[in-house]
Each structure stands twice: as structure tokens, then as C-alpha cells.
Amino acid sequence: MGTPLTIAVKRIHAPVGPGDGARFLVDRLWPRGVSKDKAALAAWLKPLSPSDALRKRYHGETAASDAAWDAFRLDYFAELDASGEAMRAALFVLDAAVAAGPVTLLYAAKSVERNNAVALRDWLRQR
């Protein structure tokens, strides 16, 4: 990809916006309190979410320190780099959507700055 990617990141509990474009949930678990209709998803890209072990380890960190966030990102990027068949298929869907117009990655975590969608967007920009 020659041009920088413009990918928005948004909490799934926030209202759908007119500029969201194609909306993709990138969490492994379906978020509580959100109906599939209200989510207005193009797709649930579960293969692009962190593994259960990584997710549980990061959420188990008490203060989610800078060191814990950095370690999470490194481990998550390694998982993304290893990309199996399901992950490659999900990336194909996401890449096609990015080429077609605006894309929003959705997450359920409470932290706006430190969540897997932010990390995934960073990884997508670096690849």
C-alpha cells in the first residue's frame, strides 16, 4: 500500500456515525449490551483479534502500565505477523474495504488509547 491508511477506531458502544464507512468488530468476544442490528457491522473479523491467552494476560495487568501495553503490542504484532489462513482471509476483507472507502475498527474495551483496535491500526499502518 503506497498511501497512508486512514482507518478510524471507535468503541462499539458509541452511536453509528455517518462517516464510519464499513464497520468491523475486531474483538474475540461479542460485546455485552450490543445487538447485532445496532452494531451495523460489515463483518466481525474475529481472526484479527488477539488470542485468548494474550487478551487475558493483558487484561489481567492491574494498572495496564506502559510496560504492559508495550508488551501487549509486541506480542499482538507477532501474532498478526504469523498470520494463518483465517487471518489472511480477514485481512483480505479489510484491505478490500479500505480500498473502497472509509473503515472503522470497533472494540469494546473501556480504554480509548490502549485497546486491540488501536494496536491493529498501528500494525496495519506499519506493514
On whether residue 45 sits in a domain, the answer given is yes
Predicted pLDDT of residue 108: 94
Q: How far apart are CA 30 and CA 32, in angstroms?
A: 7
Tell me the β-bridge partners of 22: 103
**Helix (H), strand (E) at residue 43:** strand 43-44
Tell if the pTM clears 0.85, that is, is over it.
yes
Q: How far apart are CA 74 and CA 44, in angstroms?
A: 23
DSSP-derived pairing of the beta strands 22-25 and 43-44: parallel
Sign of CA dihedral 115, 13, 93, 102: negative
Predicted pLDDT of residue 63: 54
On whether residue 122 sits in a domain, the answer given is yes
pLDDT at 62 over 80: no
C-alpha closest to that of 76 among 111, 26, 32: 26
On whether residue 2 sits in a domain, the answer given is no
pLDDT digits (tens, 9 = 90+) for 39-61: 999 999 999 999 999 988 887 66
On whether residue 1 sits in a domain, the answer given is no
Q: Which domain holds residue 26?
A: 7-126
pLDDT digits (tens, 9 = 90+) for 77-113: 999 999 899 999 999 999 999 999 999 999 999 999 9
Work out how many domains the chain is built from and give that number: 1
Please list, in sequence order, all residues whose beta carbon lies within 8 angstroms of the beta carbon of residue 34, skipping any fewer than 6 positions away: 12, 13, 108
